Amino acid sequence: QPVLTQSPSASASLGASVKLTCTLSSGHRSYAIAWHQQQPEKGPRYLMKLNSDGSHTKGDGIPDRFSGSSSGTERYLTISSLQSEDEADYYCQTWVTGTHVVFGGGTKLTVL
């Protein structure tokens, strides 16, 4: 079963860019992941599915400021032109189809 590792926190200034990282356990470098955003006091929101080759499929209404990329076992979420509403917890998720679903521990993003 894959394991996902995320840094507990990150911060960046309003208007800047930030790159969040989700690391897959070794042996799982071919796995796709999904990124989800959870704003304070709200339910999670699907951002995108991110494949091992860096291609990604975004959810409905997700702005172009959100993009994904991949390198080896690392999966990235880049948010450009940071806005105050981007301050949220970001979770990565992966799966073994029909068997397991796994979440990373989440990264709390602070917009300065």
Give the binding site for other proteins (CB under 8 A). 32-34, 36, 42-46, 49, 59, 91, 93-95, 97-106
Residues whose CB is less than 8 angstroms from the CB of residue 40 and which lie 6 or more positions away in sequence, other chains included: 87, 88
- Give the residue with the Cβ less far from other proteins, 67 or 106: 106
Shortest CB 89 distance to other proteins, Å:
8
- Give the residue with the Cβ less far from other proteins, 10 or 15: 10
- Give the residue with the Cβ less far from other proteins, 102 or 111: 102
Shortest CB 13 distance to other proteins, Å:
26
- Give the residue with the Cβ less far from other proteins, 80 or 95: 95
Quote the CA–CA distance of 110 and 112 in Å, as a whole number. Answer: 6
Quote the CA–CA distance of 68 and 37 in Å, as a whole number. Answer: 13
Sheet of 66-71, strands arranged across: 4-6, 18-24, 74-79, 66-71
Shortest CB 45 distance to other proteins, Å:
7
DSSP label of 84? G
Shortest CB 112 distance to other proteins, Å:
22
Quote the CA–CA distance of 67 and 42 in Å, as a whole number. Answer: 22
